[in-house]
Amino acid sequence: MAAVALKLFTPARFLGVGRSAQASPRLKLHITASVMAATVEDFNNAKAKLGTLKKDPGNEVKLRIYALFKQATQGPCNTPKPSMLDFVNKAKWDAWKSLGSISQEEARQKYVVLISSLLEPETPAGVAAQPAGADTSYQNLLVSTQDQITTITLNRPEKKNAITVEMYTEIIQALDQASKDDSVITVITGSGDFYCSGNDLSNFTKIPEGGVEQMARSAADLLRDYVKAYIDFPKPLIGVINGPAVGISVTVLSLFDVVYATERATFHTPFSNLGQSPEGCSSYTFPKIMGAAKASEMLLFNKKLTAMEACQVGLVTEVFPDSSFHKEVWSRLKSYAKLPKNSLAYSKQLIRAAEKERLHAVNNQEVERLVERWLSDECMQAVMSFFQGKAKL
């Protein structure tokens, strides 16, 4: 119903951008030297360019634009929640609220990147020699390349960036694209207040004609390919963990080369709560990184680590204060991306080479165990409990 109501808005009206605020169509949105440090001027330019969009970007994107605009200009959402029947304002409020406490600077930055990604395909050929720029072919990711950095942003903040079947496929594609493009390093981060809440549990509720066995088999193939994409990724892969991380978004971090986290982040792998078992090679990498005892607390007994604890056990490289997280991390990444591309790629491949075969074998074993787990009563009961609202983490 909300979706129907939202269609009544044009982008400019919806976002409260009046005609007078719209820039000349010839004015190209300029993102300063770095996509990672949008100035107030960049923000104002982006706001002005928004009115020149020829194509309606769709309700989800409009909500996202609205939310980032509010967060950038007013900070976190503290207004009362509209009534359930006030569909449009409730949807807008939800979108704004889902950004949690991200800073105004970060929201400004994300707003600029988003508007830029919408403008890119509309820019006439031959105008602007921007870097590879943004790729808008993804539904639930923002993927852009700037300053030799390809950034993959999980972009489903209203669901805490839970990973749907489609998103797994998109992330595999985005990693494949990043492995072949001109970027020097690749970054994965999340939109909103969460990094990622792990596997979208509704993946378990979409039963195909072939029944649960077929669902489990296709999920296994997808998961195997997903983890493989990390094991085989040839360039430095960096996690910018902007908030809590759950499940598979935590386990695959052990396949990243560097992990930077805000102090607000937490790391939680509640597999036994869900009647499941470890994936992402964590049954092998976690004991190796943190020792069997600490790994078992996480993987068997669902211990949630703070960012500092995750750093102490070696899963996270460094933790930053939330207020300066964005600025400090991106200025560091920009300098990393100036290092020689091939030297970095070959060095990463050498560091990982000895483990690669082993990791593929572990991935296969974990996936086979999960097929059995997904079909178990223990798992089905846990998923049902979540959707009945009984079993939040």
Part of the chain binding ligand COA (CB under 6 A), chosen from 35-43, 116-124, 192-200, 331-339: 192-200
CB of 194 to ligand COA, least distance (A): 7
User: Binding string, 132-161, against ligand COA, x = CB under 6 A?
Assistant: ---------------------------xx-
* 80 CA to centre of own chain: 28
Give the separation between CA 300 and CA 297, rounded to whole angstroms. Answer: 6
- Using CB under 6 A as the binding rule, whether residue 199 contacts ligand COA is answered as yes
d(CA 269, CA 228): 20
**What is the rounded CA–CA span in Å between residue 164 and residue 226?**
12
Q: Closest CB to ligand COA among 19 and 392?
A: 392
The verdict on 236 binding ligand COA (CB under 6 A) reads no
Report residue 52: phi and psi, to 5°: -95, 0
Candidate residues 119, 201, 238, 311; the one interacting with ligand COA per rule CB under 6 A:
201
Q: How far is the CB of 156 from ligand COA (least distance, A)?
A: 9
Nearer to ligand COA, 191 or 199 (CB): 199
Residue with smaller CB distance to ligand COA, 34 or 273: 273
Helix, coil or strand: residue 293: helix
Cβ nearer to ligand COA, comparing 17 with 252: 252
Q: Does residue 162 belong to the site contacting ligand COA (CB under 6 A)?
A: yes
Q: How far is the CB of 77 from ligand COA (least distance, A)?
A: 14
Residue type present at position 157 = P
Give the count of residues interacting with ligand COA (CB under 6 A): 16
Torsion of CA 312, 314, 315, 319, to 10 degrees: 50
* Neighbour count for residue 110 (Cβ, 10 Å): 27
Which residues are bridge partners to 260 per DSSP?
240, 318
Q: How far apart are CA 282 and CA 252, in angstroms?
A: 7
Q: For residues 279 and 127, give the distance between their C-alpha atoms in angstroms, rounded to a whole number.
A: 46
**Contact residue for ligand COA among 200, 257, 309, 322 (CB under 6 A):** 200
- Contact between 390 and ligand COA by CB under 6 A: the answer reads no
Interface residues with ligand COA (CB under 6 A) are 159-160, 162, 197-202, 246-247, 270, 274, 386, 392-393
